[in-house]
Amino acid sequence: MRDLLLEIGLEELPAQYVLRSEQQLAERVTTFLTDARVNFGTVEVYSTPRRLAVLVKDVEETQQDLTETLRGPAKKIAQDAEGNWSKAAAGFARGRGLSVEDLYFAEEKGVEYVFADRHEAGQATMSLLSGLEHVVRGMTFPKNMKWGTSNLRYMRPIRWMIALFGTDRIDFEIEGVKTGNVTRGHRFLSTGDVTIASPDAYVSTLEQAFVVASYETRKARITAQIEALASEQGWTVPLDASLLEEVTNLVEWPTALFGEYDASYLELPEEVLITTMKEHQRYFPVYVGDTLKQYFVTVRNGNAEHLENVARGNEKVIRARLADAVFFYEEDKKTKLDDQLPRLDRIVFHEKLGTTGDKVRRVERLAETLAPLFKADETKVARAAHIHKFDLVSQMVYEFTELQGIMGEKYALMQGEDREVAAAIREHYMPRFAGDASPATATGATLALADKLDSIAAFFGIGMIPSGSQDPFALRRQAQGVVQILGDWNVDLTIDEILSKVVDSQLEAGLYDADKEQVKAQLKDFFMLRLKYRLQERQVRYDVIDAVLTTALSVSRLDARADAVQQFVSRDEAKPLIEQLTRVGNIAKKGTDGTVDVSLFENAEERALHDIAEETIRHSNEAVDHGDYERALGALRNLEQPISAYFENTMVMSDVDAVRLNRLHEMKRLATAIERVADFNALVL
């Protein structure tokens, strides 16, 4: 057994794509070896801004032998009446590298077929490994580029490659770059090219060249260094997970340091300071207790030499950024809020959907209709909807787009707006991402729902529907936000009803020319996927999801329905009841609604089921109407024995037309009540 090393050396990768690319390479190499029938041990992954690498331990020297039984055409096709092999049989053998002498007949499911056994001896693993070229070429990335005269599209230009099986080189070439055993150390600290003698020396050799190959090791070093700085200075330095990941993927040899800026800048809103540090400079803010202080921590891609010079350089940069922020902040405070609103008509929202000012006016109308759902103050909703985008034309948000809504709330409060109105300006963007909270105020929830629904329906109306990975206007994220808000605020209105309000409003306003029912149907399908995703996130079984997504429900009722059914199917007593309810549902498909005539009953079991069904349906429907699906399921339990006895003693499809029709009416009546609880046919027992 030998170790296998594959490294792709590139120009600096975007930090946000490093880890997913590292994982993709590992998966592709693993799949390659598995498909090649080559056994191997553990798989180690490595990545830095300039490289992606996989080290596979204990790779077998020879691929596994292949022995398989192949089935060909049926005997009646494979031979003629005289027993001669047909062209179909000969072609089957030839295509598998065999002859007709290798064929034999065997029976399968009552039919005789031609079969052949093929044995393929395993080849030397080394002879197969040049196929790693296709692994490298087949990598996919969110964004690609071409370089020089190359036809290959890749995230960044390939500059070197290592492919080693033990100490032997695996030869292939991609766009003029040949594989070898030479990598590159740190861009500034290393003296030049670095030779990797064998795969197991990869990590230690790079370490000597000032490259920490492991993401987890770099992350641990950064964390330890920052914590040591904080302890030494008496600070608290929160390690934001996304920022820590980004910084880790920006450096190969991390060294933490700190700098300082003028304390006068602390008069700026804290969000401005943090955004400047995190989003623009990749700095970690510093606190003493809960108070933000005039320091920052950053991570250098280098060693500890001349750190004071590095700190001074970073201080100079952040002072300039904060000086700009102070200027924008002071200028914005001089402008009255209502004076900024007309400027929204100069910002194009979308060429087919008008300006941002047009969107604001649409949201105002929609928010007015949605306000009662949240029991929101209509006056506050109207004011919040009127001004909710004003900060987009502020100088601060123009420069720091991440602060949209946040600065709007602060400026609104400065100019005397109601606190809930001001909060709604910030909250209407919520939830901003997966795991973010819904708006906390009724005004904010109303506005957030109206804003998101307007955008989603408008883009669907002009045919700009997300497909595959393409979602330039983040409609999936906004739709998930709609579902979350409806669920968190317990809004008792179905997605269908809400979408109907939005589309009707936009069509009446002449926003687009589209078939109303088609747009609604497309939107419904889109939101059904979001509801399915919500239930998956709640760890609901796939069959339970299918069982509860059959009728239009409010989000909160859907949650309650799924939870109740999931708990129910996990119990031992569920199976016999589900079997009986399913029998009713299956036979009811043959019937139609109608009145049950008790005078046509022919046996006691028929009468017993009818009598119990009367009470059960009433209790079940009452429970469903109140969203209590657990109680509804409890009511349905009373039907198990009566249904079983009914089917044992009653032939639903009677030869007598009136009796048959009457029994189908009974089944249909029962099935309608049962389906209000769940589609039990979808459950997998």
CATH architecture of 555-682: Orthogonal Bundle (1.10)
CATH 1.10.3210 fits 339-537, yes or no: yes
Between CA 460 and CA 275 the distance in angstroms is 33
Q: Return averaged pLDDT per consecutive 10 residues of the chain, 685 residues in all.
A: 96 96 97 94 97 96 86 87 85 85 85 85 91 95 89 94 96 94 95 93 97 98 98 96 97 97 96 95 96 97 95 96 96 94 96 96 95 96 97 95 96 97 98 94 98 97 89 94 96 92 91 93 94 94 94 90 94 91 92 90 93 93 94 94 93 92 94 94 88
- For the record, the structure tokens of 288 come out as 């003493």
Strands 177-180 and 158-165: parallel
pLDDT of residue 145: 93
Q: Where are the domains of the chain?
A: 2-62+125-208, 66-120, 215-333, 339-537, 555-682
| pLDDT tens-place string over residues 538-573 | 999 999 999 999 888 899 999 999 999 999 999 888
pTM (2 d.p.): 0.82
- The β-bridge partners of 184 are 193
User: Which residue, 559, 503, 510, is CA-closest to 526?
Assistant: 503
Position 672: which residue type? T
Q: Are the C-beta atoms of residues 384 and 424 closer than 8 Å to each other?
A: yes
Tokens 């900024």 sit at which residue?
Answer: 340
Q: What is the DSSP letter of 276?
A: I
pLDDT of residue 141: 93
Angle between helices 657-677 and 574-588 (to 10 degrees): 130
Task: Count Cβ atoms below 10 Å from residue 492 Cβ, excluding itself.
Answer: 14
Q: Are the C-beta atoms of residues 488 and 440 closer than 8 Å to each other?
A: no
Tokens 């007593």 sit at which residue?
Answer: 573
Between CA 685 and CA 543 the distance in angstroms is 9
- For the record, the structure tokens of 30 come out as 């693993």
Strands 158-165 and 2-10: antiparallel
Q: Are the C-beta atoms of residues 215 and 18 closer than 8 Å to each other?
A: yes
For residue 467, the SS3 value is strand
Between CA 336 and CA 327 the distance in angstroms is 17
Task: Count Cβ atoms below 10 Å from residue 216 Cβ, excluding itself.
Answer: 11
pLDDT of residue 120: 79
| pLDDT tens-place string over residues 591-639 | 888 899 999 999 999 999 999 999 999 999 999 999 999 999 999 999 9
Between CA 272 and CA 402 the distance in angstroms is 9
- For the record, the structure tokens of 371 come out as 């306000």
Between CA 343 and CA 337 the distance in angstroms is 11
Q: What are phi and psi of 495, to 5 degrees?
A: -60, -40
Position 212: which residue type? V
pLDDT of residue 150: 83
Spelled out in words, what is the top-level CATH class assigned to the domain 2-62+125-208? alpha beta
pLDDT of residue 111: 86
pLDDT of residue 405: 97
Q: Are the C-beta atoms of residues 16 and 43 closer than 8 Å to each other?
A: no
pLDDT of residue 70: 86
Cis peptide bond upstream of 342, omega within 30: no
